[in-house]
Amino acid sequence: MKLYGYTASNVEELVELAEVSFVANPIELRKLAEFFVSQAELFEAGDGREHTHFSDFIKNRDARSDVVVCNPKYG
């Protein structure tokens, strides 16, 4: 697994991360888990998605932060 992200001060430069921390309540963590499982199922089914945003999954385009799952098939 590879982890990448942007800093709050520089959203233009994608950097490789060594660790990711989620500060979330139980409801948010369950929704995030649901997102991960759904993406794994879509990737296994070969639906052709390159990536999916958590904010799209929960239908909240105003989220302060986002989690993006990328299909390893596309690099």
Give the residue extent of every domain in the chain. 24-74
Instruction: Look at strands 10-16 and 4-7 and give their pairing.
Output: antiparallel
DSSP state of 72: G
Phi and psi of 55, rounded to 5°? -60, -35
Q: Which residues are within 8 A (CB) of 28 and not within 5 positions of it... i.e. 6 or more apart?
A: 22
Question: What is the pLDDT tens value at each position of the chain, 75 positions in all?
Answer: 899 998 888 888 999 999 999 999 999 999 999 999 999 999 999 888 899 999 999 998 787 889 999 988 886
Question: The pTM is what?
Answer: 0.85
Report helix, strand or coil for 13. Answer: strand
